[in-house]
Structure 1
Amino acid sequence: MSHLQWSIKYRPRSLSEVENQEEVKEELKSWLESWMNGKPNYKAVLLNGPPGVGKTTIAEAMAHDYNMELLEMNASDSRRLNDVKSIAEKASTSSSLFGEKGRIILLDEVDGINSRQDAGAIPAIIDLIEETKFPIILTANNVWDPSLRELRNVAKLIDLKRLGKIPMKKLLERICKAEKVICDPKGIGAIADVSEGDARYAINILQSIAEVYRRVTEDLVKELVRKKERTLDPFETLRDIFWAKFFWQARAAATTSEVDYELLIRWISENIPLQFQDMEDVFRGFDVLGKASIFLRRAKLGDWDLLSYVFDLMGPGVAFAESSKLNGSWKAKWVKYQFPSYVHLMSKTKESRDALRSASEKIAKACHCSTDKAINEYFPFMRVLPLDEFSPQELKVIKGIERESETKNGERQQQRKNIRSRKRT
């Protein structure tokens, strides 16, 4: 038997060999071809998924298929900000080492960057994306980490799903045949069960048992392997909450999610109307979710004991807002869950929000006040002030706020007139 790790030996070399990721492959092909046509919608993509689903592999396979040079950096290993700046920036602006051959830049495990120890690394990557002349692929095990919020705004987010049990079994059987290992189908099934969709983990289990015992059986797997512990991605979390039949199941889903608490509330809020059919159920779902938001806000003020109530409300509270679960008539309903519209909105409005912040900081500095006061009290009077210091985008934001302020003032005046007329009658 070969001493090379089987997870490396049998790694897909081409996109055609990557299983169970058809939608992801099509999205990546479309994105890369938009680069080749000189009109990329996004300069970077952010591949999100748990370990072992093939994020790095699919990037390498795509570079191979398109005959492109792949420059790979592990962002979590490059602890110094200079590493990102010197290596990645040079690669993103200079020509390829092989003349006309294209290049893909791969920054692996960006969620491994420590926001305190590696302060400035995320802004450096964002600058890199804005200035690059080559397509950039980022990978993350947990893209919903709060420290990656800005990266989510500038990169196209693509989710990779876990390998299903059927394709996992086919993969393991193919390796057994190539390595001439005697594999019991039940043993292969047991590995697929404990690996939880992590292909790398499953292949490593297969190799470790096969090299010692020369065979793989169900009894050996159960005796030697423990089930892989993992956290749930947003879609799995939603499914486990909405489909929970018991309180403990819904609470476990809320507590083991890889999404931070505030963002998970947004995920649930976005998908309650899709999952619940009855409007009374929708009302109850939003009611308990609103209470969860209140408890979370108070917990963040320092009383972290209240976090337990947050889990109870956004887990079992939402799950059992469906009255059919209480009368025994509930049936599971498959729903295509949606990303929170908040995420898309923040991405689309990033430029205007940056301009608003920049303009308000200039006004606040000149008027010796807070930026909030500058926005609420001084912006409506900007017509009479010299506007030479503001950029066109900042002026656009200021004028927009002026119009909004005028509209609100008109509405207030009309409301006062209506109140006065009602009093007369």
Structure 2
Amino acid sequence: FGFRGKIILLDEIDGISAIADRGALNAVLDLIEASNHPIVLTANDPWDPRLRNLREQCLLIAFKRLPKRAIILMLKRICEREGLICEYKALSLIADYAEGDMRSAINDLQNAAAISRNITVEVVKPILARRDRQYTPFEALRNLFFSKYAWQAKKAITSTDIDYETMMLWIAENLPYQYSDPEDLWRAYEALARADVYLGRIKRSQSWDLLSYVFDLMGPGVVLARKTSKIKWVKYSFPQKIMLMAKTKEQREIRDAIAKVLAGALHISSVVAKRDVLPYLRIIFNENPAYAARIALGLNLTESMIKFLTPKRYREVLRELAKLKKQA
């Protein structure tokens, strides 16, 4: 366009480590605010909860897998330029195995051309193989719900780039969008619930041989639950539980810090402190700011802890706390 400019490209932003690269994501947010140049971020998993603040500042552009027709047209163009004689069925077979990956299709065509200049089904079939691909949650859900056989459903949930616990949340969140019949929905959630039971047993007993049952119930169990619902294209949603956990992370960290302080002062466990002490402490802080200030002074609670315990009256508690400190 007659204009030479600069862009800032940060590749695989989701590869930033929360420990080794501490503060890196905040630095990227500062860069977005300060830079006069366009900033492009690439990610394999843009839905990582750690990237929530970045997602809110960015325009998401998804790079989807290429349709089969586009791959066949490109392969035909390459054949014409290279002087290859190509059967349409052979190119169609290559495109099927490529699964939307143009580079895989071109590599397969190149391998076939090394054997013969006449590209036929008989030539390409022996050299083609299904690749072990990692699918996004959206692709995995699509493959799962559109499965016709049990092995397809199981492959769909074991070929994704997220762990099986997160995949279970994705399935639970999107089942109502895909299954319209209440009976189908009940059977699907029943299978998912049983998968969760097995997962709990695995965690308690470390019996990882039970994991195959988890996959059978999450995949084939959910798919075979459908009897009358018609499969249609729907827009899948990100699990609300993960979003809620990300939004409340800071609050949960403050709660755990208070529980740790109480556990040390009262010689109890943090679990007991959260369950049995924290609710009553909140009542005291909401009802009696003067007495709450004395507790805060004794436990050396921070301002954020006081605000967590009484969001509406924390200023009163802080004033009383300041008076106590002056008297001391």
TM-score under structure 1 normalisation? 0.57
Q: CA deviation at 1:173?
A: 3.2
Q: CA deviation at 1:165?
A: 0.4
Q: Which structure 1 residue ranges, 5 or more long, are not aligned?
A: 1-63, 70-102, 325-329, 404-425
Q: 1:245 to 1:107 in 2, by over 3 A?
A: closer
1:172 to 39, 53, 75: 75
Task: Specify the structure having the higher radius of gyration (Cα).
Answer: 2
Matching of residue 258 in structure 1 with residue 169 in structure 2: no
Q: CA RMSD in A?
A: 3.7
Q: Which structure 2 residue ranges, 5 or more long, are not aligned?
A: 315-328
**In structure 2, how many angstroms separate the alpha carbons of the residues matched to 1:308 and 1:108?**
32
Matched letter for residue 158 of structure 2: T
Of the two structures, which has the highest relative contact order with CA contacts closer than 8 Å and spacing of 6 or more?
1
**In structure 1, how many angstroms separate the alpha carbons of the residues matched to 2:233 and 2:192?**
21
Deviations 1:97-147 (A, max 9, x none): xxxxxx423133855x8x7xxx8335354343344345461422x667xxx
1:192 corresponds in structure 2 to 95
2:200 corresponds in structure 1 to 297
2:236 corresponds in structure 1 to 337
Matching of residue 317 in structure 1 with residue 221 in structure 2: yes
2:322 corresponds in structure 1 to none
1:396 to 290, 299, 307: 307
Q: CA deviation at 1:164?
A: 1.2
2:109 to 188, 195, 206: 206
**In structure 2, how many angstroms separate the alpha carbons of the residues matched to 1:361 and 1:153?**
28
Matching of residue 307 in structure 1 with residue 211 in structure 2: yes
**In structure 2, how many angstroms separate the alpha carbons of the residues matched to 1:357 and 1:158?**
37
Aligned residue for 1:105, secondary structure, equals strand
Deviations 1:199-221 (A, max 9, x none): 22222233444467455443332
Matched letter for residue 397 of structure 1: F
2:13 and 2:41 in contact (8 A); partners too: no
Aligned residues: 292
1:271 corresponds in structure 2 to 174
Aligned residue for 2:41, secondary structure, equals strand
More displaced stretch, 343-352 vs 205-214: 205-214
More displaced stretch, 342-351 vs 261-270: 342-351
Structure having the higher helix fraction is 2
Counterparts of 1:32-181 in structure 2, within 5 Å, are: 69=6, 103-108=7-12, 110-111=14-15, 120-121=19-20, 123-132=22-31, 133-134=34-35, 135=39, 137-140=41-44, 149-156=48-55, 159-177=62-80, 181=84
Q: 1:288 to 1:68 in 2, by over 3 A?
A: farther
Matched letter for residue 129 of structure 1: V
Structure having the higher strand fraction is 1
**In structure 1, how many angstroms separate the alpha carbons of the residues matched to 2:261 and 2:61?**
38
TM-score under structure 2 normalisation? 0.72
More displaced stretch, 340-349 vs 377-386: 377-386
Matching of residue 385 in structure 1 with residue 293 in structure 2: yes
Matched letter for residue 224 of structure 2: F
Q: 1:211 to 1:248 in 2, by over 3 A?
A: closer
Matching of residue 287 in structure 1 with residue 190 in structure 2: yes
**In structure 2, how many angstroms separate the alpha carbons of the residues matched to 1:401 and 1:361?**
24
Identity %: 36
